[in-house]
Amino acid sequence: MTEVTVGLDIGTSSVKAIAADGAGHVVGSARVPHRFRVPSPGRFEHDADEAWRRGPQAALAALGDAAPRGVSVAAMVPSLTAVDGAGAPLTPGLLYGDERGRHDLRTGHPVESGELLAFLRWTVGEAPDAAGYWPAQAVANNALAGEPVLDTTTAATASPLFDWKGWDAEIAGDVGVRVDQLPKLAPTGSSRDVTAHTIRVVPRITSTSPSSSAPATSCSANASMQPGASSGPSGPPTRPHANPVGASFGS
């Protein structure tokens, strides 16, 4: 088989994966459903371990022997969970529109809303001793290949915690976290290559509308997969949906 790349999307109700060869022909696809929860009016969440960690592993494994050269991970924004030292989620996966992201200055634009920063305040309160605080993309990248990478366009949804150059240590400290507890950043459009293979990360913005036992450094479909990141457009996209670069499939 010619060189294969995979687009993997963490949606509201499932994880989808599509494998394509160098000519753009689809050579495999998979869908792994997961639950979304509304524990009370105004709250909207995932079981982050099921949807953001085990779901991507299972979707990639379901492609069989595709052996992708790279994987482009897309997901909803904003989203957030606390993780332990192995990258396993400790708290609910908070999703766009959840009331725990609301505050007096909130607007409709994901970059200006401050929703993710409000998610972070709530999550730190629930798990103050967590090893990290990661969005869905970083959880998936870590699960697939051992590195919690996030592209800078997705990071922009954390404004003002992200200042378009990096994480703001002072604002992080005000919330009760250290910069090293947040995902590693990769410039939009760049790539990270740890060994022979690359994971590509692309942001996905959406409107407010089987498990794997593989270790965190691999997945059962391709044990040699290693992490990296590349990302989508050079500026923040807008609601209700934007993903001009990379693979993103419906919920």
Is residue 211, in this structure, part of any structural domain at all?
Answer: no
CB-CB neighbours of 105 under 10 Å: 9
pLDDT recorded at residue 227: 35
Report angle CA 182, 152, 180 to the nearest 5 degrees.
Answer: 20
Among the listed residues 103, 101, 58, the one whose alpha carbon sits nearest the alpha carbon of residue 79 = 101
Is residue 81, in this structure, part of any structural domain at all?
Answer: yes
pLDDT recorded at residue 194: 45
pLDDT recorded at residue 196: 37
pLDDT recorded at residue 212: 33
Which residue range forms the structural domain that includes residue 163?
A: 4-201
Collapsing DSSP to helix, strand or coil, 93 comes out as: strand
Is residue 220, in this structure, part of any structural domain at all?
Answer: no
pLDDT recorded at residue 105: 55
Is residue 245, in this structure, part of any structural domain at all?
Answer: no
Instruction: Please tell me whether the overall predicted TM-score, pTM, comes out greater than 0.75 for this model.
Output: yes
Give the pLDDT means over successive 10-residue stretches in the chain (251 positions): 88 97 94 96 96 96 88 92 98 95 64 82 97 97 91 89 93 96 85 49 36 27 32 27 30 38
- The CATH number of the domain holding residue 139 is 3.30.420.40
pLDDT recorded at residue 121: 95
Is residue 65, in this structure, part of any structural domain at all?
Answer: yes
Provide the number of structural domains found in the chain. Answer: 1
Is residue 129, in this structure, part of any structural domain at all?
Answer: yes
Is residue 181, in this structure, part of any structural domain at all?
Answer: yes
- Listed in order, strand segments (DSSP E) in the chain are 4-10, 14-21, 26-33, 36-37, 45-46, 70-75, 79-83, 93-95, 132-134, 149-151, 184-186, 198-201
Is residue 250, in this structure, part of any structural domain at all?
Answer: no
